[in-house]
Chains A and B, each alone.
Chain A
Amino acid sequence: MKKIIETKKLSKHYGNVVAINNINLDVSFGELFGLLGPNGSGKTTIIKILTGQVKPTTGTGKILGMNILENPIEIRKNVGIIPEQETPPSFLTAEEYLYFVAKIRKIDNVDKKIDFWFDFLNFKDRKKFLCKDLSRGTRQKLMVAQAFLHEPKLAFIDEPLINLDPIIQRKVKDYFIKYVKEGNTIFFSSHVLEIAQEICTRVSIIEKGNLIYDGKINDMKKNKINLEKLFLKRVQQ
């Protein structure tokens, strides 16, 4: 199958800390790929490197055929990213923020798309609030909307469901599944195993910067492998 993400021996060191170590990772078109690992295992670092926000210490990679070292801006134009920590700017309203992102991404006729997201994630009543006055969950909704506004072929999603209530979680998960069915690709990071088991088509487990497992969810089901058990066993070694 054709690869949408390819990496070769990616490593990242912060001083003496090895954040990720020799990562070779491929994702094909149409996968809903889950990168699983405990806190501090290097998930965010990988996403930041793949989207050109952080430079790897060694190694290289390609996203949509573009080199992550040479074309970071082109890559970010073509993918959507839901970051783990970053929040929308304090003094824009929720609505303004989406229009602002639309201007940055040069998308025209966004009115309908923006309305869709306010409806879909059920936060129309917060449209005119300044982002600094929004709750964490609402900011998270805004970040979800922001990432899909330009309908990218590939989305990177760093632990997106943590602050959302169960109803919205359901909606977002269904959206991801549908989105991938339509032929797009999602790279998803999480330490919540149930969600991964439920929506991903393939998962990798990372521990202390090393990839220690890679498998298709379907194969795991066939072989009666329980993700949680596997995770606990491998990671605790």
Chain B
Amino acid sequence: MMHLLKAMMKEEWRMHSTMFGNLMFSLFPLLIFIFTFLGNFLYHLLSNIISFKNSLLTVLLFFFFFGLSVGSFGLLGREVMNRRFGQASLVAYSSRALPISEKKIFTVFFIKDVIYYFLFWILPFSLGISLYSFVNSIHLFLLFKIITSVSISFLLGLTLSFLLSTIYVHHEKLAMYSFFFLVITIIFLNNFFNIDLLIYFLPFTIFNNFNFLNITTMIIFIIISTIISISFLKVDYHQDIKIQNKNYFKEKNIIDNVIKNIFVKKDFIDMKRSRVSYGKLIFAFIFPLIFIWIILKIFITFFPFLNFIFLFSIFFGMMSSTIYNFLTEFELFSNYSFLPIKVSTIILSKIKSYFIINLISPLILLLIIIKLEQISSFIISLLLLISFSIYGLTTTIFLTGLHPNILLYNTKVFLLYIIYNLPVMLLFLFISAFFPNYLCLCILMIPFSIIFIRISLKKWDNKQEIGF
């Protein structure tokens, strides 16, 4: 057992350090430590504008969503690995070759995740706050309360995503429905009864009612849901080989009238047939949207002069550009490299698929705007959404070509991505606050993006495709 745990810890380290580079990765906890430490000063400076409640909520939510995403990578990430490397080669997935039961392996896998992320995120965070408490004394008990609720928040996210993935693997539709049911209930309660549900966010409740009973209940809940996940675990869920009677490239079908490009057509066939990815697309869209919503809602209380809907449109646009990353997950260019096809042909077809899928974004925006009763802002918001979506797409293509999911983990590429995008976002936040009449200037980003995409296509055609 200890042996396995050690092997997995090593593996996790190697996986991350090859993605990020060894030094960068080792510096990571240090960075969190420093950020937390300095963040405290910032909080202290701004404590007149920022309420303690909101700051704490942000931190708790952050660790909660972090736990969620870490957990879902653990199980769903395997799909991606499979597609990319043919067969995932993690220790956890080699259970068939090892004389240990799958359940045991995944118990260890879970423990590993907990230890690992505790060491890399929560520990430095705790140390950061603790160090600060020497500078500006925080009551020891308060410190303890903060660290405990942050840990619980992370664990809760982690177990929930394990639970959700387990349900998902067993019963995809059930998981989807329960997820949507949850989201709709939250929205409903929030809107019609004006209940600020965030107050009921469990780790936050725990913080406010900090007693032994509550904490124990929470921990027991976490342990039970973990045990449920593990006992219903299906690692190699057996998939029947399905005969596909349709031949989308032979018979004429309805799709042909709408989609002429065979590569775009293939994207949609891929999505239809790899059902896991449909789910992932929705998860990949809805989760961040909710996250952005909540964070911006809190953020705007710090900067009340910003317009929420404009702010949201900008972030929504940037987020929707990640659909491109999702689309490129399906294939490697090397699957085409022996055919007479240019890299740019594939990139262009991905852009087309991207726009088709992204048709949903304006609809979501419209719904939100109707809800907020800000119809008059619709046109400008839409322009912001579209411009930032296209701009984000452009910078992604320029920097990563067909491999955003790999290259964005490269520290240098990632920093460049931030450098290309962040100032533009800040600029428009500034404009939205002080010169809202000039916001429509954002459409200038579109012709700029078109030129830039042209340049990127040339760049990637000339670049020798690296084999991944």
Within 8 A of A (CB), among B330-371: 330-331, 334-335, 337-342
CA distance A169 to B339 in the complex (A): 24
Taken residue by residue from 35 to 75, chain A's Cβ proximity to chain B (1 for < 8 Å, 0 otherwise) reads as: 00000000000000001011100000000000000000110
Distance (whole angstroms) from the CB of B71 to the closest CB of chain A: 26
Q: Are B341 and A104 in contact (CB under 8 A)?
A: yes
Q: Are A90 and B274 in contact (CB under 8 A)?
A: yes
Q: Given A91-B269, A100-B249, are A55 and B464 neighbors across the interface (CB < 8 Å)?
A: yes
**A77: interface (CB < 8 Å):** yes
Give the residues in chain B near A81, CB-CB below 8 Å.
338-339
Within 8 A of B (CB), among A201-236: none
Within 8 A of A (CB), among B221-249: 241-245, 247-249
CA distance A161 to B243 in the complex (A): 27
**Which of B250, B266, B335 contacts A87 (CB under 8 A)?**
B335
**A76: interface (CB < 8 Å):** yes
Within 8 A of B (CB), among A68-104: 73-74, 76-77, 81, 83, 85-93, 95-96, 99-104
A81, A87, A100 — most chain B CB neighbours (10 Å):
A100
Q: Are A86 and B266 in contact (CB under 8 A)?
A: no
Closest partner residue, chain B, to A150 (CB atom): B340
CA distance A100 to B264 in the complex (A): 12
Distance (whole angstroms) from the CB of B80 to the closest CB of chain A: 12
CA distance A55 to B463 in the complex (A): 9
Q: Are A92 and B243 in contact (CB under 8 A)?
A: no
- How many residues belonging to A are interface residues under a CB distance threshold of 8 Å? 33
**B83: interface (CB < 8 Å):** yes
Give the residues in chain A near B243, CB-CB below 8 Å.
128-129
**B139: interface (CB < 8 Å):** no
Q: Are A86 and B337 in contact (CB under 8 A)?
A: yes
Q: Are A95 and B269 in contact (CB under 8 A)?
A: no
CA distance A89 to B248 in the complex (A): 14
**B10: interface (CB < 8 Å):** no
**B294: interface (CB < 8 Å):** no
Q: Are B340 and A129 in contact (CB under 8 A)?
A: no
Q: Are B339 and A105 in contact (CB under 8 A)?
A: yes
CA distance A111 to B245 in the complex (A): 16
**A133: interface (CB < 8 Å):** yes
Within 8 A of A (CB), among B55-102: 83, 86
**A130: interface (CB < 8 Å):** yes
Q: Given A54-B464, A91-B270, A99-B249, are A86 and B244 neighbors across the interface (CB < 8 Å)?
A: no
**Which of A51, A87, A104, A130 contacts B242 (CB under 8 A)?**
A130
CA distance A84 to B146 in the complex (A): 57
Q: Are B274 and A91 in contact (CB under 8 A)?
A: yes
Give the residues in chain B near A77, CB-CB below 8 Å.
340
Q: Are A105 and B269 in contact (CB under 8 A)?
A: no
Give the residues in chain B near A130, CB-CB below 8 Å.
241-242, 244, 273
Distance (whole angstroms) from the CB of B78 to the closest CB of chain A: 14
Closest partner residue, chain A, to B464 (CB atom): A55
Closest partner residue, chain B, to A102 (CB atom): B249
**B119: interface (CB < 8 Å):** no
CA distance A104 to B334 in the complex (A): 15
Can you give 5 contacting A-B residue pairs, CB < 8 Å? A89-B331, A101-B339, A105-B339, A111-B250, A130-B242
What 5 A-B pairs are tightest by C-beta distance, nearest first? A99-B249, A76-B340, A81-B338, A77-B340, A91-B273
Known: A86-B334, A93-B244, A130-B273. 16 other contacts (CB 8 A): A51-B338, A54-B464, A73-B342, A76-B340, A83-B337, A85-B334, A86-B335, A87-B335, A93-B247, A99-B247, A103-B249, A105-B339, A128-B247, A129-B243, A129-B244, A130-B242
